[in-house]
Amino acid sequence: MDSKDTFFSRKLTVNCGGLLLDLTAPRVMGILNHTPDSFYDGGRYMKEAEIRERFEELITEGADVVDVGCYSSRPGAADISPEEEKTRLSEVLKVISKIPHHAIISVDTFRSEIADFAVREYGVSMINDISAGRFDDRMPEVAGRLKVPYIMMHMKGTPRTMQIDPMYDDLMKEIIAFFAERINTAREFNVNDIIIDPGFGFGKTVEHNFTLLRNLEVLEMLELPLMVGISRKSMICRTLDCKPGEALNGTTVLNTMALMNGANLLRVHDVREAREAIKLYEAYKAT
């Protein structure tokens, strides 16, 4: 037994509509954005054939979870109505429903009505909320009622304001306090399965992001699975002076660091490379 396991008893299995996702070994969440303005893949998967090809690519490369997002949360992204988000989501989920697969489908939304729609109408079995219920206070109640795993992310501010001079007195202390409060709220609504996402790039400078990466293990005190979403983000691009399309190698390096510091779920654009990083990490750990 790893020595750190003696201090915390983390709940690393979540129930996704009757399918158990075991996170004692790291898993991969593949990203499917059906948006015209996401920071890396905006506009790539708008047509039915493009959606099908992307989904099949994620499945073939070994995604355990596919996260469907129809609202861009990049800094400065345009707001869209719930009706537009629901229309976009339906376009994706209708395509996915026709393709045989065994992946868990997650909906990336901060709106409770969208989450409720996706779970009830299309059998989506996970909710990924960048606001941790702060933008829609009905979200914890919906997640609890639907009995699906709930991913809550730390963000300072909103997508429109989060990168305007973000400041912290103590980064890790503030993130832990944030999660303690949001977890307590979710538990009040009987949300049984929670995954935390510390929110790389959301209300954080490049320096904040690297401090967070270096101290990920501190979050184990919350005794919950940890998701990390670093894929092709600005902390890589600004450090290496490259564009998101050139940031795959940097993503793999930082994903490996995240695994070594306790990440249980990697949210990525590039599934095959993430699975290779996990396989190498597991071999390293086994020696």
3-state secondary structure the chain: CCHHHHCCCCCCEEEECCEEEECCCCEEEEEEECCCCCCCCCCCCCCHHHHHHHHHHHHHCCCCEEEEECCCCCCCCCCCCHHHHHHHHHHHHHHHCCCCCCCEEEEECCCHHHHHHHHHHHCCCEEEECCCCCCCCCHHHHHHHHCCCEEEECCCCCCCCCCCCCCCCCHHHHHHHHHHHHHHHHHHCCCCCEEEECCCCCCCCHHHHHHHHHCHHHHHHHCCCEEECCCCCHHHHHHHCCCHHHCHHHHHHHHHHHHHCCCCEEEECCHHHHHHHHHHHHHHHHC
| Catalytic-role residue among 27, 204, 267, 275 | 267
Concerning whether 267 is annotated as a catalytic residue, the answer is yes
Q: Is 233 an active-site residue?
A: yes
- Kindly name the residue from 233, 238, 272, 285 that is annotated as catalytic: 233
Q: Where in the sequence numbering do the catalytic residues fall?
A: 233, 267
